[in-house]
């Protein structure tokens, strides 16, 4: 992934700017910081790069989701529809604001199945949260139509799809709000960080206060700020923002190399008739962080995964069906609602109910899917070797069944 693969003098320069002033906090200390405002600079760069009117940086993608939900007024008793295939942070954020995660099936886009979304809507539904997994996007036309029909919010979890787009608009900027993660293995890294993007000025103002103990940030004296509402500490530091500021300048380079390596690998795997590929609602908008591919049956897929492991080349090839971070099947802590802070009995029962539903349609898709992470430092020869190794293993397994 590019965030950890491309780190150099550009990041060091931005970080050193902060270290030379000694002001590591994003707010206050106006004089000593000598005009160095890395978080503000990165927020401006995000707006320019992705086309959002407003952007607010914070400490993580998880914090970004939590903050966006709070700013959108999502809370106690509200239901949020999200996919059975996502990262655990998605449902953690939902639970943290007192809402109920309502999981529904994914289709062959590996994102929300619009038909399943429609069936899951109840009078308590407040928001639909598509998660643009593995670099590509959900069917946003269909989901926007559902939101309009039922007067629902659309919150995009675009943490895994930085740089992707849908019909000319950048992912994360299409809904009422959208989020990116800038953790160590994302397309752009701050080491740790995230952002809420929105075109709604009121939502942005609420995000700004919510992430800094409710400060209104309206005066020149931070200590005299008023507190219109209760907030929390989800601030990003200037050091983290400095790293991200250097990284965002490299995004076009990341995406170009990703596209080249993704295309080359897909061309090799396409020589096997039994391999099919994820459906992309807008091919031109795929950020191509992963190449996601399917085999005919779960048994063949599991045999291929076992052979990849036996040959020592499983790394970088993800079988989400058995992954306990990304697919509902392995979320035992959620299915049993094991939390350190006690949930209300009603909230706990709802979480358990929705996490333990039958996801047979998702199982049928995810059990046949392998996603290969696209490296930016791969040489042409390495791409060729990786592709040929996968092809040889698939053919070996298929001929043996």
Report the pLDDT value the prediction gives residue 284, as an integer from 0 to 100.
97
CA proximity to 57, closest of 68, 69, 49: 68
222 confidence band (pLDDT: 50, 70, 90): confident
List, for residues 333-355, the tens digit of each pLDDT value: 999 999 999 999 999 999 999 99
pLDDT tens track for 138-161: 999 999 999 999 999 999 999 999
Give me the pLDDT at residue 1, please: 64
Domain annotation for the chain: domains and CATH numbers: 2-250 (3.40.640.10), 252-400 (3.90.1150.10)
**Arithmetic mean of pLDDT, 282-289:** 97
At 262, the pLDDT band (50, 70, 90 cuts) reads: very high
Kindly report the CA angle at 66 between 199 and 360, in degrees rounded to 5? 105
User: Average pLDDT in the 49-59 region?
Assistant: 98
Token pair listed for 126: 């407040």
So what's the pLDDT on residue 138?
Answer: 98
- Six token digits for residue 96: 């943290």
Mean pLDDT taken over the chain: 97
Per-residue burial over 186-212, b if 16 or more Cβ lie within 10 Å, else e, is: bbbbbbbbbbbbbbeeebbbbbbbbbb
Give the integer Cα–Cα distance in Å for 343 and 333: 14
Residue 198 near residue 172 (C-beta atoms within 8 A): no
Question: Taking 90 as the threshold, does the pLDDT of residue 328 lie above it?
Answer: yes
pLDDT at 223 over 90: no
Average pLDDT on 306-327 reads: 95
Q: What is the pLDDT of residue 394?
A: 98
Alpha helices in 249-359 (DSSP H): 251-269, 298-310, 332-335, 345-355
pLDDT digits (tens, 9 = 90+) for 230-242: 999 999 999 999 9
- Residue 32: burial class (beta carbons within 10 Å; 0-12, 13-18, 19+): exposed
Q: Dihedral through CA 39, CA 42, CA 48, CA 52, nearest 10?
A: -50
Mind telling me the catalytic residues? 186
Q: What is the mean pLDDT of residues 98-124?
A: 98
Give the span between the Cα atoms of 171 and 325, in whole angstroms.
23
Indicate whether 60 pLDDT > 80.
yes
How many other CB atoms are found less than 10 A from the CB of residue 99? 24
Check pLDDT > 90 for residue 302: yes
User: Residue 227's pLDDT is what?
Assistant: 94
How would you classify the pairing of strands 153-157 and 177-181?
Answer: parallel
Full strand arrangement of the beta sheet holding 153-157: 54-58, 194-198, 177-181, 153-157, 125-128, 79-83, 100-104
pLDDT, position 323: 93
- In whole angstroms, what is the distance from residue 377 CA to residue 382 CA? 9
State percent of the chain over pLDDT 70.
Answer: 100
Phi, psi of 310, deg, nearest 5: -60, -35
Distances (CA, A) of 201 to 24, 59, 208, 217: 27, 21, 11, 15
pLDDT of the residue at 398: 96
What the block records as the tokens of 390 is 């996968």
Distances (CA, A) of 291 to 80, 99, 284: 28, 33, 14
Per-residue pLDDT at 3 exceeds 80: no
Alpha-helix runs per DSSP H in 184-318: 201-210, 238-248, 251-269, 298-310
Q: Which two tokens stand for residue 362?
A: 């998702």
């Amino acid at each position: 992934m590019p965030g950890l693969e491309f780190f150099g003098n550009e990041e060091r320069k931005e970080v050193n700017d902060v270290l030379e002033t000694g002001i590591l906090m994003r707010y206050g200390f106006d004089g000593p910081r000598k005009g160095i405002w890395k978080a503000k600079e990165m927020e401006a760069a995000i707006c320019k790069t992705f086309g959002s009117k407003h952007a607010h940086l914070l400490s993580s993608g998880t914090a970004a989701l939590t903050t966006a939900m709070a700013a959108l007024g999502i809370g106690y008793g509200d239901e949020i529809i999200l996919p059975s295939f996502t990262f655990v942070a998605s449902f953690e954020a939902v639970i943290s604001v007192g809402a109920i995660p309502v999981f529904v099936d994914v289709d062959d886009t590996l994102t929300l199945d619009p038909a399943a979304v429609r069936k899951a809507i109840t009078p308590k539904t407040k928001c639909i949260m598509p998660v643009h997994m593995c670099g590509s996007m959900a069917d946003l036309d269909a989901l926007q139509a559902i939101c309009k029909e039922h007067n629902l919010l659309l919150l995009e979890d675009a943490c895994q799809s930085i740089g992707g787009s849908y019909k000319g608009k950048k992912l994360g900027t299409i809904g009422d709000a959208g989020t990116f993660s800038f953790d160590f293995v994302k397309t752009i890294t701050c080491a740790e960080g995230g952002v809420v993007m929105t075109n709604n000025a009121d939502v942005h103002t609420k995000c700004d206060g919510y992430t800094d103990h409710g400060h209104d940030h309206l005066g020149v004296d931070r200590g005299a700020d008023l507190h219109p509402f209760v907030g929390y500490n989800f601030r990003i530091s200037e050091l983290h923002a400095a790293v991200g500021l250097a990284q965002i300048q490299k995004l076009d380079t990341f995406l170009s190399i990703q596209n080249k390596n993704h295309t080359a690998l897909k061309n090799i795997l396409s020589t096997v008739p039994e391999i099919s590929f994820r459906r992309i609602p807008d091919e031109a908008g795929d950020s191509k962080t992963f190449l996601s591919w399917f085999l005919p049956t779960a048994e063949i897929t599991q045999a291929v995964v076992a052979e990849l492991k036996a040959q020592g080349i499983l790394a970088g090839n993800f079988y989400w069906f058995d992954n306990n971070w990304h697919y509902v099947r392995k979320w035992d802590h959620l299915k049993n609602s094991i939390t350190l802070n006690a949930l209300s009995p009603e909230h706990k029962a709802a979480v358990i109910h929705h996490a333990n539903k039958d996801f047979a349609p998702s199982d049928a898709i995810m059990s046949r899917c392998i996603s290969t992470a696209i490296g930016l430092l791969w040489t042409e020869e390495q791409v060729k070797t990786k592709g040929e190794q996968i092809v040889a293993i698939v053919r070996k397994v298929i001929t043996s069944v």
